[in-house]
Amino acid sequence: MTDEKYFEEMEARIPHGQVRTRFAPSPTGYMHVGNLRTALYTYLIARHSDGVFILRIEDTDQNRQVEGAEEVIYRTLEECGLKHDEGPDVGGPVAPYVQTERRGTYKKYAKMLVERGHAYYCFCDKTESEEDSGEFERADCPCRSMNREEALRRAENEPYVIRQLVPHEGTTTFHDASFGDITVPNDSLDDQVLLKRDGLPTYNFANVIDDHLMGITHVVRGSEYLASAPKYNLLYEGFGWEIPEYVHCSPVMRDQQHKMSKRHGDPSYEDLRKEGYLTEAILNYVALLGWSPKGELAETEFFTLGELSEAFDISGISKSPAIFDIEKLKYFNAHYIRSMTPEQFAEAAEPYIRQAVGNEAYSAAKIAALLQNRCEKLTDIPEKLDFFDELPEYDTELYTNKKSKTNAEISLNVLEQALPRLTALESWDEESIKSMFTDFAGELGCKNATVMWPVRIAVSGRLVTPGGVVEICDILGKEETLRRVELGIDKLRG
Ligand code: GLU
């Protein structure tokens, strides 16, 4: 096929007439919070307009390849419900969606750009970093003005890169949805490498080719790419292609000065999950890191993914950097924990409950019910349950409590009288246990707390417990409760 025909066919494949966005991660093995936010905004822009959300894997930087990295991307998108309509795994009209599989395409388009006078072959021996960064004195480069026949002849048997031919004069302006119009003098732009010696494109070239050939209407990405946007525009213009809408998102910061970074131990999406945060809470919080709803929804904090798809609009994206605040995330997480049904919570909590409570006789569902209103994240769970499997050592001072009007002597008396009452209970459930305590307090003519406090200490050995004495006795079962109450009596008798 002639190149001419190839280009025509590629053009013919491009879908038109719909919003098309793409999330284009490099497989680094790690989805940082900023990346997740980019994925989310990209998804929301597509969904908001009934458009198409595409996943493209940008793997042309072979030095950065990490084993299993693509898995992290697929898993994260799936867990978060950011379902892509086109991508390497699901295919689509403009496949392939992995850049290394598009290698032949970039070379053809790079050569096309040379023919159109917007790029040139460069045979200079540059160090790799010069090549990657484009930082070298282009005025000195003899290849820039080499005539095309000579360049083509040398390219047949010499290694080369293809560079963008950026004009020295004039200015270039580009438009970004949040940053507005930005104009730069062309002499501040370098002749960046488009095609490397190994025949692979640089990111700077591949993104333009792919965004065009995939029919991308909105390019959503981190603001670190803002500085390169004028060069991308010059490429689009060089090809005579329509420039997509740019939506550059400001970084997510750890504090005023520092971006979040893996190297400094800032958590990735997967880290946050491991730390006990729910996906819904992470997504909701991340959505608001750099975007705010307007109008009627201006004060709304809690959004499901579906609600975000409805509410999201590009004009709500802020250009100032957002600071990641773990306390705020905890607040969102607590909200989502509280809003689960008891069954959903029990299911999510069970693995954490079982980290602390090995005894299967102790019902995870009942324990979960004690925790749902008492934890901000799932990892808070195990430490609250350390008294179930084994009664911890405790000090008899715990029996003294002003509010409950108890001290060691009163507690001993209560426990001694509670023991036969508990023993006599025929059915062991919350209701029977509770009425035993209230009847008991009624007979003694004291507050419920005066009888409940000592028993709770005796069965848990803890000053603070999730749930009260009734629930704890119910979960422990009759035999273990009686055993612990007897131990309490022994302890108090000294
Ligand atoms: N592959 C780039 C990255 O992971 C994506 C930039 C873009 O979306 O254009 O940073």
Per-residue model confidence as pLDDT tens digits over 77-99: 999 999 999 999 999 999 999 99
120: number of Cβ within 10 Å: 22
Mutate to test the pocket of ligand 1, among 38, 209, 221 (most ligand atoms within 8 A of CB): 221
pLDDT the model gives residue 161: 95
Measured from the CB, is residue 204 less than 6 Å from ligand 1? Answer: no
Q: Is 27 in the pocket of ligand 1 (CB under 6 A)?
A: no
Q: Is the CB of 25 under 6 A from ligand 1?
A: yes
Residue 317 pLDDT exceeds 60: yes
b/e code 295-305 from CB counts within 10 Å (16+ = b): eeeeeeeebeb
Ligand 1 atom nearest 28 alpha carbon: 4
- The DSSP letter of residue 323 is E
Which tokens hold the place of 374? 């008492």
Q: How far is the CA of 123 from the centre of ligand 1 (A)?
A: 28
Pairing of strands 119-122, 161-164: antiparallel
Atom of ligand 1 nearest to the CA of 25: 4
Triad 230, 233, 238: Cα angle to 5°: 130
Q: Is 336 left (phi over 0), alpha (psi -120 to 50) or beta?
A: alpha
Closest atom of ligand 1 to 203 CA is 1
When pLDDT is averaged across residues 351-359 and rounded to a whole number, the result is 97
**Mean pLDDT, rounded, for 230-236:** 98
Give dist(CA 369, CA 430) in Å, integer: 13
Structure tokens at 320: 């100032």
User: pTM value?
Assistant: 0.91
Cβ–ligand 1 distance for 82 under 6 Å, the answer no
Q: How far is the CA of 374 from the centre of ligand 1 (A)?
A: 40
**Which pLDDT band, with edges at 50, 70 and 90, does 254 fall under?**
very high
User: Ligand 1 within 6 A of 221 CB?
Assistant: yes
Decide: 207 in ligand 1 pocket, CB within 6 A: yes
331 Cβ contact list (under 8 Å, min separation 6): 376
Confidence of residue 133 (pLDDT cuts 50, 70, 90): low
Nearest CA to 164 out of 138, 184, 140 is that of: 138
Give residue 57's pLDDT: 96
How wide is the angle at C-alpha 263 spanned by C-alphas 261 and 268, nearest 5°? 50
Q: What pLDDT band is residue 62 in, cutting at 50, 70 and 90?
A: confident
Please say if 262 is a catalytic residue.
yes
Q: What is the Å distance from ligand 1's center to 264 Cα? A: 21
**Which of 196, 231, 262, 402 is the catalytic position?**
262
Neighbours of 169 (CB within 10 A): 7
Mean pLDDT of the residues in the chain: 95
Chain centre distance of CA 468: 36
**Shortest-distance atom of ligand 1 to CA 23:** 8
Cβ–ligand 1 contact at 58 (below 6 Å): yes
Q: In angstroms, what is the span from residue 219 Cα to ligand 1's centroid?
A: 10
Which 8-state DSSP code applies to residue 302?
Answer: -
Share of the chain above pLDDT 70, in %: 97
**Cross-strand bridge partners of residue 98:** 57
| C-alpha–C-alpha distance, residues 164 and 175, integer Å | 21
Vertex 98: Cα angle to 230 and 194 (nearest 5) = 35
Assess whether pLDDT exceeds 60 at residue 132. no
Judge if the beta carbon of residue 367 lies within 6 A of ligand 1: no
Strands in 113-241 per DSSP E: 119-122, 161-164, 171-176, 180-185, 193-195, 218-222
